[in-house]
Structures are given as C-alpha cells and as structure tokens.
Amino acid sequence: MNIKISPQNINPQQISFRESKVSKQNSLEKSPSKDTFEMSVGYVNDLHGQTNNMTRILSGLKGDLRVSAGDNSIGDEKNKAVNLAVVKFMNLAGIKGSALGNHEMDTKQKDFADTLSKFNGNYYAINLKQDSIDSEDPDEVEKQERTQLSNYIKKSSIVDVKGEKIGLIGAAPVDLTARITHPSYHTDCKVDDLDDTIEDIQEEIEELKEKGVNKIFLLSHLGNERDKVVAENTEGIDVIIGGHTHELIKDIKEGKNLLYSKTGEPVIITEAGKNGNYFGQLNLTFDKDGVITKAQNNLGETRQFSKNMINQYIINSILGEPEVIGFIKSVTPPPLTLIEENAHANFVCDAMRYELGTDIAIWNNSGTRSFFQEGIIDSRDIKDIAPFEDRISVANVSEKKLVDMFKHTIEATYTTHGNKPGLLAVSGLNYTVNPVEGKLTAMNFVDKEGVEHPIDIENPREDKFYQVAQDSFMMFEGADFDVLAPKEECINYPFNKDYLACQYIKHLNEPVVINQTGRIKFEGENFRG
C-alpha cells in the first residue's frame, strides 16, 4: 500500500492511537483481524490551476479513493481553458470528489456549471446556500449568467471502495464570498458560519449513518484551524481532507492532525500545501465498527515525478503547445511565506517595467502560484507562475497614493491570519519594513540608472506622479489593496504578466539568473521574514 515515492519523501510513521472513550472494544492497540478493513486515499488540495504540476501528480497519485479539498481551478471566464484542463486532469487522476473552494467560484455560475458538467466526480458544499433562481430578478439572472448551483453541487454522497460504503461530505470556506474575484457574480449566495456549518455536517453524518455508512470523510476547504474545531465538535467523521490555508502536514502527530471527536474516536486531518507542489496518500485500517485503528500519512514532492505524457498531450490540446522561451541558469529559492521577499515575483516586475517603460512595477506576492526553475523554460512554465488573467494596466499614480497603499498593505499583512495579502514585489522601488510593528518605515524610488531617490513617507507628495504598471486586479479592482487609479484613467493592455515575462526573457537573450532581492529591507538583523 505504500505510495511509490523516493525514500526521502516517505513519512514512514505508522500510528496506533490511544484508546477510544467510547469503549475498550475500539482500542487501537489490538491486532488486525478479519473484521478489519484497509484502504488508501490519494489526495490533493489547492492546485490553483497548475497544469504542469498536474502532469507530474498524475504519475504518482495512488489510492483506492482519490479526492480533493478544493481550489482545483483558478480565475474567471478568461481562464476557462485552464479550468477545462483541470477537469481533464481530475478525470484522468480518478478523483471522485472535491470540496468547493473559493477559486471554483471565481467564474460566473453558468461557466462553473458548464465546466463541472464535464467532471466525472462530484463537488460538495454542505454549507453553501443560494436563493432560488425563481425568486430573483430575471434580468439580473441573465446578466450575471446565474444558475441553480444545487443542481450541480452536492451535500454528500456514498461511494463504494473495495465493497465498503464510504460517505463523502464537503464544506466550502466560510469566507468564500470575501475571497472570490467577482462578488457580483454570487450575490445570491452565502455560506453558513462555522457553528452552523458544524450543525450542517452533523446532520448529514446522521443521515449517512442511517444508510449504513460508518466510514465518513469530510472534504474541507474551511482551513486548518477550522478543521480542528470541526473534528472536535462532531461525531462520526474519520478523516478530514483539508485545504484553503495551504498547510503542509507531514506524518501523523497527536494534537496537530490527529484529534478526537466528541465521543473520543480518532479524526485524522490532511493538507498538502499549495499549488500542487505536494500530494498525499493516507493509508488506513478500520475496525468492524468503522473506527480507525492504524494510519500512515505519506507526502510526495511533485517536482520529483516525471510528467505524464498522456496528460501533457491532452492539456496541450486544450491550451496549445507551449513555446520554449529561454534558459534559467540559476535561481534563488522561492519564499515559504508571504512575509519574505520573492525574487521570482521581483523578476516579473522587472519584466513589466522594462517592457512597458514605466517608472515602477508592482505585483502581489500572493499572486505568484509557482516559481522559476533551472533549465529550459517555456511559456507554460511562466503561465503557471502568473496564472490569473488579470490584464496589465498602467497609470500615473501620485506619491501619496503609492505610499498609502504600501502602508495599508503592510499593516494588513502583519495583522491577518496567513499574512495576507503579503509583502509586495517591486521594480523601481525599495522599501523598509518594521516586522514587529508591521509598519512601512522607509521607501526609495530607483530610477532607470539605478539612482535612489528617497520618498518622505510621512509627507508624501500629492503633486508628484510615477508611471506605475500593475495588473487590473491590483490597479482598479481593489480586492485586498487600495485602488491606485480608476479603470478609465489607465492604459489597459490585452495581455497578462506572463506575456511580458516571456518577452523580457527573449530580449535578455542569455541564460537568466533569478536573484532579484534586496528590494525589501527589514529593521533589526533578526527579522528576515
């Protein structure tokens, strides 16, 4: 049953848990007998449309049951081809079910339903509530291309695994409506808060039990801390396949991803990071009452697997053949958190600034979904780094607006869970952060000759302007950032950052070194993100 991963990636710890509070019969110390049931679960989460990683995952993902915790897709209707490629991957991988993530809802409801209709499995969201289409304004329904999502998204289902009934329940993130790209697409939807979601889940568990199911999996895009709350405040869940907060959970550790339900039965939580950089296999042994007696949690590092050429061919048939762009000579490792400087994102900012001839270019660290790797690089590799189709905008921005945006973004980054939206990648700027206070403390404009010009961040000028390149998501759609310029004041280009990065590498016409750091300084030698 062991997943076929090179030894350094296998987590060999096999756990026998403490005695259940229900009865001594459920003790996890007893030897296996004919009443035991063994199964393996292959899982992914937060793939974010990373098609290159998907072609590798397909070479390694195993399991009697294969599932996802959501955020498989990414972006709105401009990313429809990528989302279709994601569905192709899920079908080839044999994924039977997925939680509904916020990125699945980036697109219009009819586009999502159309994509979902091509999926061989099911999406689940027990806590997603939507007004009846019949009660809505028909003009608004037509304008926003809405549909009744309950026709496409289930609360739960029962699947057969090796002759055993397995119950699958799914939960969408409680902050879904705050995380989607286009809130206007889903004003008829809401998601229950955590307390109500727990009640929803427990009610569904009871219904599954009445149908003879005693092995239940929750596919959750609630996030790790909320998964823990669910585990300890419900009865009947055996495994939570988690996502949303991008935790990388190795092995099985009591108190971290081994918790106990209200009745003392073990509940295991998984999560495999983000962007398809890892995937997992959970090996389980149940007793005759459906209680886990043994478990082993393995993680595979995706880059160590070769691409599945069948899947590569299918994805290329949807997205087109990638173009070889150049050669990456060396790279600085990508950051592990959003409060570290990101050389890969800075390089893309350099591409935006150089190709468009602007004074400054800015990109949000959290928008980078992959990273440059040494060797030959093609357009698909770069697209994975900047997958969102947020077209480039250029505007003249006052010094005051620029400084205020950085101040607000840094403050939010150091006060929110997960440090979102993250420190900003830049070209034509450098700035200093006090990580203890979560404050911007200095900023310099760097002209095209490399000369630094200090900016008075306490008294930024309203009459001094810089030509700034950003994507539309940051420039005028707002989201997690201050709006720097309204759409009508921008030059709006019909391409994304990936196109500019490709052009820049071509124009460099030499092996590329990704080491663009030193643009963010941290006060205090012990603070490096």
Q: What angle do CA 413, 416, 421 make, to 5 degrees?
A: 40
Query: Where exactly does CATH 3.90.780.10 map onto the chain?
Result: 322-522
Cα–Cα dist 269/127, whole Å: 19
Cα–Cα dist 89/85, whole Å: 6
Give the helix/strand (H/E) hosting 513. strand 512-514
Q: What is the CA radius of gyration of the chain?
A: 24
Structure tokens that stand for 131 in this block: 């007004």
Query: Where exactly does CATH 3.60.21.10 map onto the chain?
Result: 7-304
Beta bridge partners of 38: 285
Residue 527: pLDDT band (50, 70, 90) is very low
Distance of CA 222 to the CA centre of its chain: 12
- Lowest-confidence pick of 10-19, 125-134, 144-153, 329-338: 10-19
Q: Answer whether residue 21 shows pLDDT above 50.
A: no
Cα–Cα dist 529/525, whole Å: 11
pLDDT value, residue 109: 94
Residue 440: pLDDT band (50, 70, 90) is very high
Cα–Cα dist 371/166, whole Å: 37
For 345-371, write each residue's pLDDT tens digit.
Answer: 999 999 999 999 999 999 988 788 888
CATH superfamily of 322-522: 5'-Nucleotidase, C-terminal domain (3.90.780.10)
CATH of domain 7-304: 3.60.21.10
For 228-275, write each residue's pLDDT tens digit.
Answer: 999 999 999 999 999 999 999 999 999 999 999 999 999 999 999 999
SS3 readout for 348-409: HHHHHHHHHCCCEEEEEHHHCCCCCCCEEEEHHHHHHHCCCCCCEEEEEEEHHHHHHHHHHH
Distance of CA 508 to the CA centre of its chain: 32
For 458-485, write each residue's pLDDT tens digit.
Answer: 999 999 999 999 999 888 876 678 899 9
Q: What is the pTM of this model?
A: 0.77
- Beta carbons of 198 and 235 less than 8 angstroms apart: no
Residue 177: pLDDT band (50, 70, 90) is confident
- Lowest-confidence pick of 25-29, 256-260, 350-354, 389-393: 25-29
Quick one: what percent of the chain has pLDDT higher than 90?
A: 76
Mean pLDDT of 23-47: 69
Mean pLDDT of 105-119: 93
* pLDDT higher at 417 or 4: 417
For 37-47, write each residue's pLDDT tens digit.
Answer: 999 999 999 99
